[in-house]
Amino acid sequence: MGTMTVDGIMNLGPCDEYTRERMEELRKTQCGRRKNITMKDILTSAVPPEDRLWLVLRNEFLTDKELQEIAIWCWEKIARPIWEKHYPDDKRPHKAVRIKKLWMKGTATDDELSAARYAALDAAGYAAGYAARDAALAAARYAALDTALDAAGYAAWDAARDAARAAAWDAALDAAGAKICRHILKKYN
């Protein structure tokens, strides 16, 4: 496994929140006097999981094969249950992952992998289309209800709904990110 310095991290272009000063402070907290930051240092830091993953999921720390294994693990442990709940009859993503595993073993061709990938992308586009349609229908319903609702009440409801949705989404992403960080730490460190 590789290591990285604060200069190396800054060269990757982190978001504005991670200034050089903040990165030096985080390095000192995690590494003490060491200048090099390890994958374990990053994964056990107190920064949000998505920020830890932004840095760790790179070739400086993991090989292409390991990154591919992590992507498959994420599908199997996090994304697949969600997909199957909403699209139980659409097996295109399942096939793409199966072909990817075979490709990694050298028993599937690049063409087979490409075809499976495009089929999975098509499935994702199909799902996104349904999500967009559902959003449009909800917007139309709200527009119709708007004539019957007081504007302030509607705005309050909308804000409360959006805040609840955002909080739930953030909590789910944090939980998934933390789960991925734990998996990487356990398997690759």
* Residue-wise pLDDT tens digits, 63-120: 989 998 998 898 899 888 888 888 899 898 889 889 989 999 999 999 998 898 888 7
Task: Give the start-end residues of each E strand in the chain.
Answer: 3-4, 37-38
Rounded to 5 degrees, what are φ and ψ at 135? -65, -40
Residue-wise pLDDT tens digits, 24-73: 999 999 999 999 999 999 999 999 999 999 999 998 899 989 998 998 89
Q: How crowded is residue 117: how many other Cβ atoms within 10 Å of its Cβ?
A: 15
CB 71 within 8 A of CB 89: no
Buried b (16+ CB within 10 A) or exposed e, 21-50: eebeebbeebbeeeeebbbbbbbebeeebe
User: Quick one: pLDDT at residue 151?
Assistant: 46
Global pTM value: 0.72
Distances (CA, A) of 46 to 37, 50, 55, 125: 14, 11, 14, 35
CB 127 within 8 A of CB 87: yes
Distance CA 71, CA 74 (A): 5
38's tokens: 């390890």
47's tokens: 């920064």
Q: pLDDT band at 6, cuts 50/70/90? A: very high
Residue boundaries of the structural domains of the chain: 3-56
- What is the four-CA torsion angle of 50, 53, 55, 56, rounded to 10 degrees? 170
